Structure 1
Amino acid sequence: MTNEELEFNNDEEVLTLYDNEGNEVLYRKLLQFYHPEFKKEYLILAEESNFSDEDGDIELIPMISTDDEEGQLLPVETDEEWDMIEEIVNTQMDEPEE
C-alpha cells in the first residue's frame, strides 16, 4: 500500500479527553489518517504535558475515531493494526516537512 492510497490530516490541534478518574487531560493530535484496508479513521495523539520531554521521547497514543456524533475514541486492539500504525508513524514522522 502506498501513501497515496491513505488520506492524511497533519493539522495539529489540542484535544481535551478524560482519564479513568474523570480528570481532563490535554492531548496534541499529531497525525490523523483513514486506512482503506481497515476502513477506519486513526488518530495519533501525544499527551500535551509530556510533549516537550527533555530526552525528545514522546509517547504516542494511537486511537480509532468512531463515526458517531459523540466523536468517541477507541483503543487499537489488533496486532495487524498496531503493525500498520507503527509503519505509518515511522514513515510520516521521519519525512522532512515541506
Structure 2
Amino acid sequence: MDENQFSIVDESGNEILCDIVLTFESEQFGPKAYVVFSPVGEVDEDGEPVYDAMIFEESDDVEGGKLLPIESEEEWEMVQEVFNTFQDEEDEE
C-alpha cells in the first residue's frame, strides 16, 4: 500500500483497497477534512470508476485516523461540488 491508498473493511469483514482521489479541508460545516476515494477495480455499469467520500478525522486511538460518514445532504452537495470542480480542472490539463 502506498501513501495514495488506504484499506477499509466493509460490513462483511472484507478488506477493500482504495485509491485516494482528492483530499481537502472545509470550514463550511465546521473545520473538517474530507477524502474522496475509489475502491480499486470497482466500476459502474458503464465501466467508469466508482467514487465515494467520507470525513477524515485524525485520531490518537486509530493509526492513520478514522473515516466517518457524511450524513447531511447539504454536506454531500458541497463535497460533490468540490469534486466536480477538481474533475473539471483535471480534464482541462
User: How much does 1:77 deviate?
Assistant: 0.4
Gaps of 5+ in 1: 1-11
Matching of residue 76 in structure 1 with residue 70 in structure 2: yes
Matched, 1:27 2:21: no
TM-score by length of 1: 0.76
Aligned-residue offset at 1:57 = 1.8
Letter in 2 for 1:72: K
2:37 corresponds to which of 41, 45, 50: 45
Which aligned segments of 4 or more residues in structure 1 are displaced greater than 2 angstroms? Answer: 53-56
Alpha-carbon RMSD across the aligned residues, in angstroms, is 2.0
Write the letter of the residue equivalent to 1:30.
Answer: V
- CA distance in structure 1 between the partners assigned to 2:73 and 2:46 by the alignment: 28
Q: Which runs of 5 or more residues in structure 2 are unaligned?
A: none
